[in-house]
Each structure stands twice: as C-alpha cells, then as structure tokens.
Amino acid sequence: MDFILLLKALILGVVEGLTEFLPISSTGHLILFGDLLDFNDEKSKVFTIAIQLGAILAVCWEYRKKITGIVMGIGSDASANRFVLNLFIAFMPAAVMGLLFIDVIKQYLFNPLSVATALVIGGVVILWAERRDHVIDVEQVDDMDWKHALKVGMAQCLALIPGTSRSGATIIGGLLFGLSRKAAAEFSFFLAIPIMFAATFYDVYKNRAILELSDVSMFAVGFMGAFFSALVAIRALIRFISNHDFTIFAWYRIVFGIVILVTAYTGVIGWSEM
C-alpha cells in the first residue's frame, strides 16, 4: 500500500469537500493542488471528478429529510413535482454542453494557468454582482419557477471552465436572476446532485480502461475526505450567508489567482502549462 499516495488522496479529498460548495472552484483547486503534489496524470483527472461524488453525498445527507419528502411526493405533490422539474431544466444545459465539450476542455483548460485566469475573472464578476442592487423575487427555493431554473442552468454552463466554480456560477447567477442568497445557495446544492452524479459515472465509465483494482483504496480515501469536509463547508456556508455577502470569496479568488500567475511568470513555482 502506497501511504504517500493515500496521503495525497486524503489531501485532495479534503480540498474537494471544502471548496465544492464555495464560489472559489473546487476543480480549479484540485488541479492546482494536484500539480503541487505531482498528482496530475490521466488517472488523477478521473480521481478529481470521482471524489466530487463524496461531496455530493454530503448534500444528500445534510438535506435528507427534504430529499426524502420530494421523492415521496413525486406525482402527488405539486411542490415536489415543480422542484424536480426545476432541477431537470437547470441540469440539462450543462449536461449537454459537458457531453459535447468536456474532452476539449480537459485537453486545453485543465492546467494551473487557465485556472488562475478564471479565478481572477470570476472574482471580478462576483465583485460586480455584489455592487448591483439585489432585487429578490424568490425568497425560498420552493418558490422558483421553470424560468428561474433555466437561467441558473445556463449560468452553470460557465462552470465547465476550470476555475470558474460551479457553485459560484449558480449562486451568483441566482442572485442576478432574483433569488435570495439562501435560495440561490440551496438550489446550487441540490443542482449539484444530478450534474455530479452524471459527471462521475460518465467519466469513470469512459476511463475504466486505465483504472485498476488497486486504485480502490485511493478513491475511497479521497471520497471519505470529501464527504466529511463537505459537511463542514455546507453548514458553515449557510451560517455565513445569513449575515454576509460573497465579497470575501471574490477577493480570495483574485489574490489567489494573481499569486499563481506571478509565481508562474517569475518561475518561483514550476506550474505545468498543459
């Protein structure tokens, strides 16, 4: 058993869980930390996608009562039917775009410099969004209609670019489209469930030829690290947004992205280019 490899898997799992639901890009952080840990081959790219399922299951656990109620109410409860329809509508744009372009994106954008650029640009967008007047049309996630869902789903397509942040795109998109902070964050959590399940199983199946039985322990450690750290992050974010906006995350993105670009330009850190 390679304990160094398992330690890397644990570190990346914790990074995934802590960043998946914050508007700072979990995929971007995994690419950066993977590069620093020399964990950036083809198998590692499958790993970084697969362990996101651990973070998603943390959402399922945290909101298990609501999810159970929705499942039990499908077909008989109008609110449950509307919620499921909204998730499906929001899920489809990124699912289609992902199927069409994920291979190209992995080839050209899964690298630290692309991530750093997206972090800075995304940070500036968040600052701009937070300085706009925020008109709330939807206070609770159950009050959304299909038009809100479609708009958030279109915003989620931007997250296919590593460093953009899926949660950042959906939450900030939700704010721009009239959702309250709580509604935007919770819908982002729920929307992650179908998109990440689909992405995980599709990527693992497509790359099954490069996976081995000995990889199970590595994936399991990363999965558990992601699950437990995501529980912490979800609860902390809901508490945080009750009294704060997302400006701190914008500045974190900008500073972090600039540090990466500066260290790459000066040669202090030998970031990979592709």
Task: Return the domain boundaries, the chain.
Answer: 3-266
**Percent of the residues in the chain that have a pLDDT greater than 90, as a whole number:** 51
**For 148-173, how does the pLDDT look when each residue is reduced to its tens digit (9 = 90+)?**
999 999 999 998 888 898 888 999 99
Q: What does the pLDDT read at residue 274?
A: 46
Q: Structure pTM? A: 0.84
Per-residue pLDDT, averaged over 40-49, amounts to 83
Q: pLDDT band at residue 45, thresholds of 50, 70 and 90?
A: confident
**For 75-123, how does the pLDDT look when each residue is reduced to its tens digit (9 = 90+)?**
899 999 999 999 999 999 998 998 888 888 877 887 888 889 999 999 9
Using CA atoms, how far apart are residues 12 and 120, in angstroms rounded to an integer? 22
DSSP string for 174-221: HHHTTB-HHHHHHHHHHHHHHHHHHHHHHHHHHTGGG--GGGHHHHHH
Q: Give CA angle at 22 (18, 25), nearest 5°.
A: 90
